[in-house]
Structure 1
Amino acid sequence: MNIRIYQVNMKRDTNNVAFMRYELLEKLQGSQSVDSKIYDKVFDGEVDCQTLEDVYQMFNLNHPEGYKDRSLSVSDVVEVMEDPMHPHCFYFCDSVGFKPIDFEPKDCQLGRTFTDTEKKNMISVLLVEPNKYPKMIEIEDSLEAMQKIVSGDIEEYMPFEDEVAIICNDESKMNGMLPNRAVYAEPETVEMSYQEMTKRFREAENNRKEHLTGYVVFTEDSFDKPYSEESRTYVISSNNKAFQSGMGGYSIYASCLDGTDPCLRLDGYMSAEHGGENGWKIEKCYMKENSREMLDIIFGQFFIAYAPIESENFQSLPKNLAEKYKEKFKYPERIAKVNGEIVAVPFKPKTKEAER
C-alpha cells in the first residue's frame, strides 16, 4: 500500500483540534471541514499493509525504519495512493476507524522530520528477541540494516520446509550473546485411515487433552473438475461435535489447505460420513506429530524473512507464514542442561508487548 501521512502542526493549530475526533471540529473551529493548512506531511512511501487498520498498527507499534514523527493518532490524515481496497482518497483517523474527507495536500507544509521511503525497498520480517514475544517489523532490504538487527555479520539458516530463512549473527555463540530459541525438526507426517484418525480425535477430546489436527485428502474423481492436492486437502480439528461426547449434534467443519474453501460443513459431503455412495471419497488421511528433536539453538536476536528459491533477495513474510512462525516462536525459552541433555523450557514474559 502506497500512503502519505499528514499530522497537525501544533504551532499552527490555533483552534486546538489536534487529537480531537471528527465530530468536535465544528464546535472547536466553527466548521467540520478539515483545515489542510495546519497539517504537515510527515511520511510518504510504500508500506506492507492491506488495510487502514494495518497502517494504524504499524505506525503505533512497529514504526518503519527512519520514521521519526509521533505515532498515528486521532486527527491525523492518511492519503492512500492506488490501492485496490481503498480508492485514492484522504482518510481522517477518528476515535473509531477512519472517515473519508476532503483534503488539500498542496496547502500542507513538509514536516521537519519528513520520511520518504520511495527510494528504499522495505520488507516486513518477524523479529525474535530473547525473553520477548516475537513481532512483525519493517526493515530496509539492505545488508547494513540486517547487520544492525543481528548486531554483526549475518548468517542465513533455512531449517524448515517453507521458503523462509532465519537470519542471525554468524558468531553469536562465540560472542557470548544470550540464548534465544531452539529450532526443532519439522513435524513428521503419519498416514492413517479415517477411522484411526477419528478414534484419536475422540480419545483426545474424552481425555480433555489438547485439540488435535488431521488432514483428509479427497480423490480427484470426487469432483466434477480438476483440483490440486492442496485444494482437495481439508484440515479438520478434533474440536468438532462429531468427535465430542454429549454435544447433542453431529457436525464436522473444515477448511481446505489452500484457503479457497473455508469453514465448510464437511460431514454432508464425505462418503465416509453422511455423503452416501456418491459423496467425496477419501484418498488418504494423515496427522503431523511434532518432533522434539532439537536441531540447533539460536543465540542473540534474529529475524525471519520470506526466501523464495527463485528470488535473489529476501522478501516480506506473507501473512499466513508470519502467523505460523509467530506461533512457532511465540514463547521465549530458557536453555538448560537436565540429566546431561540440553532442553529448552518455554516461559511467558512478565509483560507482553502491546498488540492492537
Structure 2
Amino acid sequence: MNVRIYQINMKRDANNVAFMNYESLPKFQGSSEIDSSLYDKVFEGEVNCFTLEKLYEIFNLKHPAGYKGRSMSVSDVVEIIDGNTGKSYFHFCDSIGFRWIDFAPEKTQVSDRFLSLAEQEKISVLLVPVGKSPIVKEIPNTYEAMKELVGGGGLDEYMPFEDDAAIVCNRDGKQEKLPMNRAVYQPPKRTEMSYSDLKSLFREAENKGQHLSAHIVFTADTFKKPYSEFERTYEVSSDNKAFQSRMGGYSIYGASLDGVDPCLRMEGLMADEMGGKDGWKIEKCYLLDNTREVADIIHGDFFIARSNVANEKYSSLSSEQLLKYKRLFRYPERFHETAHGIEIEPFKPDRADKER
C-alpha cells in the first residue's frame, strides 16, 4: 500500500485539536472541516499491508526503520495513493477506525522528521534461496529489510571468505528446522607452480584414475581490454583429453571464474599450447586441493553482502564479488541424514560432453 502520513504540528495548533476525535472538532475550532495547514507530512512510501487497521498497527508497534514521527494516533491523516489511477484518498484516524475526509496536501508542510522510503539507502546483495540459483536483489539497508529477506527472526553473520563478503542468515534457522540450503566449505588450498609442472601432475593423476583442478591466470597484456586477475583466471580440470593418455584427440576446456566463458575450448588460444607466440600468455598457475572441508551448513534462505566491520554496516557487493559468489553458490545441494552424519549431494546439471 502506497501511503503518506500527516500529523498536526503542535506549534501551529492554536485550537488544540491534536489528538481530538472527529466529533470534537466543532467544539474546539467551530467546524468539523479538517484544517490541512496544521499538518506536516512525516512519512511516504510503500508499506507491506492492505488495510488501514494493519497500517495503524505497524506505525504503533513496528515502525519502519528511520521513522521519527509520532506513533499513529487520533487526528492523524493517512493518504492512500491508488496504484492504477494515481488518485489519492484521505482518511482521518478517529477514536475508533478511520473516517474518509477531504484534505488539501498542498497546504501542508514537510516535517523535519519526514521519512521517504524511496530515499533510503539501498544495497545490492546476492540472495541464495533454498533449492534455487542465486539472484541479485536491491534492498533497503535496514535491519527490517534484511530480516524479511531471510524469513524473519534475528540475523547471524559468517565471514568464511578471504575478502570482505559476509553470509547473512536467519539466526534461528537450525532451531526452527528450516530446510538446509547450502554447505559452506573451507577455502581450497592453492599451490603455485609452472604450467609445465601442472601438466605433469595432471597427467600423473589421470593415469591413476584421479581428477585434479587448477586455476590458470593469464597476463593482463594478453587481452585488449583491461581485466582484473579474477576475470583473467580460468579453472581447468585434468579431466581433459590433453592430459589423458591414449586419447583420440587433444582438447582443453576451462571456465572463467567470472562466468563469462562457462565452457571455453582453450588449447588453440594458449601460447603454451597451440596458440603460438600471439596466444594467451600464462602469468601463473595454482593447483587446487580438491578436498572440500565443510565449515557449516546454512539453513533457510540467506544473502551475501559486503561487510564493513569497522562501521558495523553492510554495503553493496562489487560486480566482481557478485560474479564470484553467483558462481560459488550457483547450484543447489541436497542433504541426506545418515547414521554417519549429513551426506551432501551436489547438483549436477545435464550438459553435452564437449569432447572431454
Instruction: With the length of structure 2 as denominator, give the TM-score of the two structures.
Output: 0.48
Structure with bigger gyration radius: 2
Instruction: With the length of structure 1 as denominator, give the TM-score of the two structures.
Output: 0.48
